[in-house]
Structure 1
Amino acid sequence: MSAEHAVAEDEATADTPEPATAVAAKDKWTLPGSPRVWLFGSGAFALAALVVAIVFGIMWLVAEMDGDRDLASARDDVLKDGTAAVLAYTQVDYQNLDAYFQKQKDVSSDDMAKQIQQAQPNYSKALTDQKVKVTTTIQDIAVEELNDHDGKASFLAAISTDTSAGGKNATKALRLEVQMTRVDGTWKLSGIDQVPLVAAGK
């Protein structure tokens, strides 16, 4: 074969278009709508979905942790303000009754403060006549119910009192149930009752 004939054959081959099947085979992974593009799109969608799930999962977890922290903080406030309220209501010194009643009013809701104001004259006389002094020790205190949204709470307090009255001394264990209402960001006593002590084994 001559050199001229070989060159002519190469030129003919170069000018001949590739078969359609060859083009399809070469471009099937890059054409729009091809399986490769579809696979890439699915992978991107799955990745995006995963990212969204992670982000919203973290946001949910953070919100839950914030909620738990808020609830724990409210519980601590109830215990702190409740402890002050129990001491204000149970510790008495007949020689300083004005301060005794004022402390009660300071830790009480408006309704309770009004009741204290009305009862003060009679209680003052009785406490003075008997020369009552009471020292309180809080043994245990635990929140029983807490509705932070409505600003309502209740707790149980186990206390012991050392009392001097009428020339006699006595120590007594008491169990109190206390209701609290949040007023202007502070928990105020709105109710207090003595709960009967349950003997061990009952």
Structure 2
Amino acid sequence: MTTHAPERPVPEAGTPGADAAPTGGQGATRFRRGLSIAVVVGVVLVLVTGILWLVTATSGSTRLAQDRDAVLVAARQAGETVTAVDKSDAAGTVARWEAVATGSQLDELQTSHDQYVQMIGKLPASAHGTVTDAAVAELDDRAGTARVLVGMDVTLDDGGKTPPTRQRVQMEMTRTDDGWKVAKIDPVGGAAG
């Protein structure tokens, strides 16, 4: 046997209770619809915020990695440039040194340009260096500065009479409009034969 709940009469307009929100059916449907919309909006906001955070986080680290790679390449090239001495082209040698320098290092090279040219012309042989290792020790992306440790083998072009020397230098690099350049070079330890 099936029993039915008694039907409630719907109040007519103008009678007490006619303007009250219906319980159950229509009110509950509106509440659920509003809740569903709020949940969807919340999920979308969380997703957008997460994506923006991820893009910001990775773009900064990508730029930092690119700067690290660029300064490392520039320091390696500078290391080979400053150890390349062509006694038959002393002025060209100093000009190449100046091309990879900036700041106080460039000032010092320009101030002593003529003395370096004379000194190179008196050397017994030319020389060239090969970078064996290099590592970025510090990088300040905002300041555009870095400190790079570079190891090199320097060989005199004297037909093998003099064994190569191993040198380690610390290069302070500065970002310029023309890329990373050497602002200062300091030897690290002594040269080893």
| TM-score normalised by the chain length of structure 2 | 0.79
Residue of structure 2 equivalent to 1:112: 105
Aligned 1:39-58 pairs, distance under 5 A: 39-58=32-51
2:189 pairs with 1:196: yes
- Alpha-carbon contact 2:125-2:156 (below 8 Å) kept: yes
Residue of structure 1 equivalent to 2:3: none
State the Cα distance separating 1:168 from its structure 2 match. 5.0
2:29 pairs with 1:29: no
- Alpha-carbon contact 1:91-1:134 (below 8 Å) kept: yes
- Greater relative contact order (Cα 8 A, min sep 6): structure 1 or 2? 2
| Mapped partners of 1:107, 1:178: distance in 2 | 12
| Mapped partners of 2:51, 2:135: distance in 1 | 32
State the Cα distance separating 1:27 from its structure 2 match. 5.1
State the Cα distance separating 1:151 from its structure 2 match. 0.7
Residue of structure 2 equivalent to 1:14: none
Task: Pick from 165, 172, 182 the counterpart of residue 179 of structure 1.
Answer: 172
Runs of at least 5 residues in structure 2 that lack an aligned partner in the other structure: 1-7, 12-17
Residue of structure 1 equivalent to 2:125: 132
Q: Identity rate of aligned residues, in percent?
A: 26
State the Cα distance separating 1:138 from its structure 2 match. 0.8
What amino acid maps onto 1:72 in structure 2? A
| Mapped partners of 1:47, 1:134: distance in 2 | 70
Q: Please give the per-residue CA displacement for 1:138-165, whole angstroms capped at 9, x wherever unaligned.
A: 1111111111111111111111111257
RMSD: 2.7
State the Cα distance separating 1:19 from its structure 2 match. 6.2
| Mapped partners of 1:150, 1:126: distance in 2 | 36
Q: State the aligned residue count.
A: 176
SS of alignment partner, residue 124 of structure 2: coil
Runs of at least 5 residues in structure 1 that lack an aligned partner in the other structure: 1-16
- The structure where helix makes up a greater share of residues is 1
What amino acid maps onto 2:87 in structure 1? Y
